[in-house]
Every structure is written in C-alpha cells, then in structure tokens.
Amino acid sequence: MPISPEDKGFGQGSPELARWAEKVFQPEDPVLAEIRARSIREGLPAIAVGRFDGLHLEVLARLVGARKAVEIGTLGGYSGVCLLRGMPEDGVLHTFELDAHHAEVARESFRKAGVANRARIHLGPALQKLREIENEAPFDLCFIDADKTGYPAYLDWAARHLRVGGAVLGDNAFGFGGVAQPDGDEGVRALRRFNEELARGGRFRATMIPTEEGLALGVKVA
C-alpha cells in the first residue's frame, strides 16, 4: 500500500497529470481565452491568474455565497469574470485598478462576458479608492492581486470590512519563491508579513492553496 506523502504539490509536479486535470475540469472556456488573448494584444502584461486559479476563484465565490465582492488588481478583467461567474445575478464586484488602459480592457471583457452590469471598476490607487465603498460593507469576499507591497494594508482593510465567515484570497503568496528565503526585496518582505498576519493574526482561519504561485485563503473568524 503506497504511503501518502506529507508534501504534495498541485498536480504532483507532473505535466501529464496537469494536462489530464485541464481536460477533465476545463477551467478556461472561449470567453476567458479571448480575454487572455485580447489583453496581451492590447499590450497588458501576461500576469492574469492561471486557468485553474480562475476556476478556484469561481468555485470559492460560490462556496462563500458571495453577493458583494472586492477585487484589488483588475488588469484585463480575467479574474473578475471568474469571480462574477461564481456570484448570483444580483451580485456585485467592486474591482480596483491603477492603470486606465487596463481598466478599459477590463470594461470590454466584462461586456463580452455578459457581466458588465454587475462589475464596478474603480480607477486609482486601491488603498485610497477602497474608502469609497466602505459604506457598503460588510463584504463577502476580497481577492487581493495588485502591488505586493500593499498586501498587508489590503489584508487589514479586508479584516475590517468582511463579514465573519467571509473570505480573503491573496494571489502570488509564495512571493515567486522568495517568502521562504531569509530576506528579499520590499515586495517579498510585505508578502511574508501578509502571510504571517493571515495565518496567525487571530482574525482569520487560513490556509495556503499550493498553486504554482500560492493562493492564500482565509475565512474571517473575528
């Protein structure tokens, strides 16, 4: 009887298994594929979430029963469409983006995906613009995927504006491998603080979904 290993990576690091999972779960449909391709054609950096990350977001939004959600870092709207697909017809996503061109591409993505009436794009530095929606709190879900130095402040905002039972998610939580090293640049140090606060700060019960880049997930408990 084989013993289950203590350390398990996504897809067990096997390209064959990853291909199999893509075939069975089909995480990216033609609408999402078009958004990814058009974003690149429009000159946006290729930094949208991966196909399975997008599917995780949709499924997690469904699990939480998210009606009011926040996304920090819109880019071309790929992850926003995934989140909205996991939300009901009367659900609203507030998504925050610094770059006007990214926001324009996202607007078109939301239109093409048929979710434009449920997506509110806020243009400007997220930490300032988040204040504009605080009167709608508490929120059900907050997905953090913007400047890495901002993660600790975004987490603090989420802790103060999510309902108990609401979820916070942070992409790139492994800091591109850097969090496990002794020091690192400002972004890596911020991601380390983000993870430590999420895991041990007492406001969330949290885990790490071991995707390629680390998708940290916490449920607000206090």
120 Cα distance to chain centroid: 16
Question: How far apart, in whole angstroms, are the C-alpha atoms of residue 189 and residue 181?
Answer: 10
Q: Is 58 in the site for ligand SAM (CB under 6 A)?
A: no
The nearer residue to ligand SAM, 35 or 162, going by C-beta atoms, is 35
Comparing C-alpha atoms, which of 66, 90, 67, 94 is closest to residue 80?
Answer: 94
The nearer residue to ligand SAM, 101 or 205, going by C-beta atoms, is 101
b (16+ CB within 10 A) / e for 179-203: beeeebeebbbbbbebbebbeebeb
The residues that bridge with 96 in the sheet, in sequence order, are: 72, 122
Of residues 55, 68, 70, 78, which one binds ligand SAM by CB under 6 A? 78
**Cβ atoms of 119 and 95 closer than 8 Å:** yes
Q: Is 48 in the site for ligand SAM (CB under 6 A)?
A: yes
Question: How far apart, in whole angstroms, are the C-alpha atoms of residue 207 and residue 199?
Answer: 7
Of residues 29, 34, 42, 99, which one binds ligand SAM by CB under 6 A? 99
Footprint on residues 130-149 left by ligand SAM (CB under 6 A)? 145-147
Which listed range, 10-18, 19-27, 68-76, 204-212, lies at the site for ligand SAM (CB under 6 A)? 68-76
State in angstroms the smallest separation of the CB of 205 from ligand SAM: 24
Of residues 52, 55, 96, 204, which one binds ligand SAM by CB under 6 A? 96
Question: How far apart, in whole angstroms, are the C-alpha atoms of residue 74 and residue 123?
Answer: 10
In order of 172, 200, 212, the CA distances from 188 in angstroms are 10, 18, 16
Residues across the chain: 222
The nearer residue to ligand SAM, 8 or 111, going by C-beta atoms, is 111
**Cβ atoms of 36 and 113 closer than 8 Å:** no
The nearer residue to ligand SAM, 18 or 123, going by C-beta atoms, is 123
Number of residues that bind ligand SAM (CB under 6 A): 19
State in angstroms the smallest separation of the CB of 219 from ligand SAM: 21
Question: How far apart, in whole angstroms, are the C-alpha atoms of residue 107 and residue 129?
Answer: 18
Site string for ligand SAM, 8-47 (x = CB under 6 A): ---------------------------------------x
State in angstroms the smallest separation of the CB of 96 from ligand SAM: 5
Give residues in contact with ligand SAM (CB under 6 A). Answer: 47-49, 73, 75-76, 78-79, 96-99, 102, 125-126, 145-147, 150
